[in-house]
Amino acid sequence: MRRLVGHMAALACLLAPVAGCGPAESRDGGGGPRVVVSILPVGDLVRRLAPEGMQVEVILPYRASPDTWEASPSTLRLVTEADAAVLVGAGLDPWLEDILDPSRTRVLRITEGMELLHGGGDGPADGHEHSAGDPHVWLDPVLVRDEVVPRIVTALVALAPGDSARIEERAFRLREDLTALHHEIDGILRDVSPGRAFIASHGAWGYFARRYGLVSLGSIYERPGHEPSARSLGGLVEAAEEAGVFVVLSEPQLAGTGAQALAHELGGIVLVVDPLGGPGVEGRDDYFSLMRSNARTFAMAMSTSR
């Protein structure tokens, strides 16, 4: 806790422009500060905390993978005009890191200073090449409540100090909502099969699995954009059959061929979970609905037998 408090105190100045630690104003001289956020789940959290007038824009479009997506000219312009940027960090959003100018834009990386999982949490290494650790911290609502929300609050207060009371009030409500969400997800997953094992397309689910006592048997894609080898699929088939797993969890951001191939070998089916969601995607267009949707799908997958 002392480390987190110290980090929060230092962060207020780290987020300020190079010229000093004063409040930001929108660069075009109109409206409130503009904040760009790399992915929708974090963007939704920022919107729930942001005071009136603060403009929050999510950059990554639906179905795009953070590992392969490239910014368009219009996105480049949007990022250039932003007063602040909220990133996940830990290697998840280098495409946004690369186009930011830290001397002009305040930057928050929500994973900075956090103790991150390595190897996907449970089971074999997740194959997701983030040397700093697993960046998918937003998939644990308790971690979001206790670690991510305080970081975002500090960033927004530094950006709009005159709205600090309103931001803190929203943070209080958001933490209560996240506690309720955690209990809801725990209830959804409490009565699934005793093995509580799963196989997913890639290793995004380490924090989710750790929080709710689930076991990852491995992931299909060792690297985004690379199809799994026959040997790696064979190992997953063996692990799945031993654990009685017949459902493979795929994701909208990745090709479904590997999941379909594995499900075929198992005589099973494919269900879709989504770590990112997207604007306008029914049931997955905000953090809370996205997490509930994933919890229900996990429960269905682990409760399914031949």
Region of 304 on the Ramachandran plot (φ > 0 left; ψ -120 to 50 alpha; else beta): beta
Q: What is the pLDDT along the chain (306 residues), one digit of tens a residue?
A: 434 434 443 344 344 443 334 455 555 545 789 999 999 999 999 999 999 999 999 998 887 777 677 788 888 899 999 999 999 999 999 889 889 998 899 999 999 999 999 864 443 334 444 568 999 999 999 999 999 999 999 999 999 999 999 999 999 999 999 999 999 999 999 988 777 899 999 899 999 999 999 999 999 987 666 677 888 889 999 999 999 999 999 998 887 788 999 999 999 999 999 999 987 788 888 999 999 999 999 999 998 766
pTM: 0.85
pLDDT on residue 131: 61
pLDDT on residue 9: 39
In the chain, where do the E strands start and end?
A: 34-37, 55-58, 84-87, 106-109, 197-200, 215-219, 247-250, 269-272
Q: Which residues contact residue 226 at a Cβ distance below 8 angstroms, ignoring those fewer than 6 apart?
A: none
Fold topology of 2-118+130-182: Rossmann fold (3.40.50)
Q: What CATH class does 190-303 carry?
A: alpha beta
Rounded Cα gap, residues 204 and 136, in angstroms: 6
Residue ranges per structural domain of the chain? 2-118+130-182, 190-303
Q: What Cα–Cα distance (Å) separates residue 305 from each residue in 212, 256, 287? A: 21, 21, 30
**Fold equal for 2-118+130-182 and 190-303:** yes
Instruction: Give DSSP secondary structure letters for 14-44.
Output: HTS-TT-SPPP--TTSSSS-EEEESSHHHHH
Instruction: Give me 19's structure tokens.
Output: 């010229």
pLDDT on residue 11: 45
Q: Which residues contact residue 26 at a Cβ distance below 8 angstroms, ignoring those fewer than 6 apart?
A: 32, 33, 34, 55, 83
